[in-house]
Amino acid sequence: MSRSIAAGKSPTEQANIKRAVTAATIGTVIEWFDYALYGAAAGLIINKLFFPTFSETAGVLAAFATFAVGFVSRPLGGIVISHMGDRFGRKPALIFTIALMGASTVAMGLLPTYAQAGIWAPVLLVILRLLQGFGAGAEYAGAVTLVAEYVPPERKAYYTAYLQAATVVGIMMATLLFLLVSYLPEETLFGWAWRVPFLISALLFVVALYIRKNLDETPEYVAAMEKAAEQRHEARVPLRELLTNSPRELIFGFLSVTGHNANAYILSAFSLSYMTNTLGLARTDSLTAVMIATLTGIVMTPIFGAIADRVGHAKVYLFGAVFVFLFAFPMFMMLDSKSVVLATIGLSLGYGIGFAGLASAQGAFLANLFPTRYRFSGIAMTRELNSVLIAGPTPFIAASLVSAAGGRPIYVVAYLMLCCAVTAIAIVAIQSRSFERGAD
């Protein structure tokens, strides 16, 4: 972020903008660190620690089911916390999200296993996943809203793309930590070492909480609230305004996220399980391939964001969906080669072009769909309703489809292509609304 964020702004305004982008980025890193951490654990160890009485296939499915549970509470968290953010300010909402996510993740690292607590172990795990999901339900929406309302309009995609790059940073950090502990003897890994990545998240949480407590409210939000106060005195209900005034934007915004969610969770969560449990690759090789691939996503997402600011958010968003649609089958062919090199290249292309294309323009595209007074609620609803239907269940769906196909990925490929087709249609249907809303 060395380029000028706000040319022409006063030094104080520039400092506030940099602080806002930093606070939003770190929070997004934590959100996806938490989720990727659990995704990696679900594919590698959760089944053995919390569902040891199940068969190997059933254990993996049960682990991914608990992964999906975290998304059940996300829409509720998104609605409640985004209402808080639209009604009372971005800052208190973002502080609450980071506190709830951080506490839940650290608590997971302190959980007893099935061998220690029996059935209560998976029950407590599910409860913590629900709390984690509730907090995460508004994290990305709040981060995008914060950044979109601080940075200049002509740089909106570039800087909101940093948030999506941050999601990959979180994935890479989680994968790296599990890679490191995976080199330990299995007895040590399943004894205590699996807890370390969860407990380390406390450090990130403290840093993010400190930065967010020192944030100022966004100038755009303050101006919008002052204007609303002048025009009417009754209490605002952002969700009601959203459903009344922007139903088309809500529906197509919701559909537009489908391909991105399916692709992101196949890359970050399912691919590890597929390479390790289905193809028989070594756990460390699979983790290494994913970690290297995530680096391409980190580098390429802001680059695609800068391109989106120049050529149009919808065009880059659509490009990402079309690429993933076309590359779905070749990527799984490269994984099926059981070559670590080819698997790494395939995942890297999936992250560096497919993920980056979809992720880079998404934040600006969605932010432009909704006016300031209920933007937080609009972004949260579009993303989190889609998350509970697509993102959370995707690893479980993918694992089930592979099992149904006798270990072959053909059904997973079809699922990913269908999701990307839905995204492409939605973008084309609503792109003019996003463009028109850009100056709002």
Reported as a single tens digit per residue, the pLDDT across 262-289 is: 999 899 878 988 998 899 998 888 888 9
Q: Tell me the pLDDT band of 10, cut-offs 50, 70 and 90.
A: low
pLDDT(293) > 80: yes
Q: What is the mean pLDDT of the chain?
A: 85
Query: Which pLDDT score, from 0 to 100, does residue 188 have?
Result: 86
Vertex 74: Cα angle to 70 and 78 (nearest 5): 160
Stretch 408-428: mean pLDDT, rounded?
Answer: 96
Query: Which pLDDT score, from 0 to 100, does residue 54 have?
Result: 78
Stretch 420-425: mean pLDDT, rounded?
Answer: 97
Retrieve residue 105's tokens. Answer: 């993740």
Stretch 62-78: mean pLDDT, rounded?
Answer: 82
Query: Which pLDDT score, from 0 to 100, does residue 239 have?
Result: 81
Helix, strand, coil percentages, rounded to 5, for the chain? 85, 0, 15
Decide: 390 and 255 in contact? Cβ < 8 Å: no
Decide: 165 and 298 in contact? Cβ < 8 Å: yes
Decide: 133 and 69 in contact? Cβ < 8 Å: yes
| Tally of CB atoms within 10 A around 280 | 9
pLDDT(304) > 60: yes
Query: Which pLDDT score, from 0 to 100, does residue 4 have?
Result: 46
Query: Which pLDDT score, from 0 to 100, does residue 172 have?
Result: 80
Q: Which residue has the higher pLDDT, 8 or 52?
A: 52
Vertex 300: Cα angle to 37 and 178 (nearest 5): 20
Lowest average pLDDT, out of 29-33, 130-134, 405-409, 424-428, goes to 29-33
Q: Tell me the pLDDT band of 197, cut-offs 50, 70 and 90.
A: confident
Query: Which pLDDT score, from 0 to 100, does residue 433 have?
Result: 64
Q: What percent of the chain is modeled with pLDDT above 70?
A: 91
What is the per-residue pLDDT across 16-49, written as a single tens digit (0 to 9) for each?
A: 778 888 888 888 888 778 877 887 777 677 888 8
Query: Which pLDDT score, from 0 to 100, does residue 43 have?
Result: 65
Query: Which pLDDT score, from 0 to 100, does residue 233 have?
Result: 44
Q: Tell me the pLDDT band of 436, cut-offs 50, 70 and 90.
A: very low
Q: Tell me the pLDDT band of 150, cut-offs 50, 70 and 90.
A: confident
Retrieve residue 435's tokens. Answer: 């463009």
What is the per-residue pLDDT across 83-105, written as a single tens digit (0 to 9) for each?
A: 888 888 888 888 898 889 889 98
Q: Tell me the pLDDT band of 438, cut-offs 50, 70 and 90.
A: very low
> What is this structure's pTM?
0.79
Q: What percent of the chain is modeled with pLDDT above 90?
A: 33
CB-based burial label for 410 (10 Å; 0-12, 13-18, 19+): middle
Stretch 197-201: mean pLDDT, rounded?
Answer: 86
33, 40, 145, 231 from 380: Cα distances, Å? 19, 25, 10, 26
356/301 Cα distance (integer angstroms): 4
Q: Which amino acid is at 241?
A: E
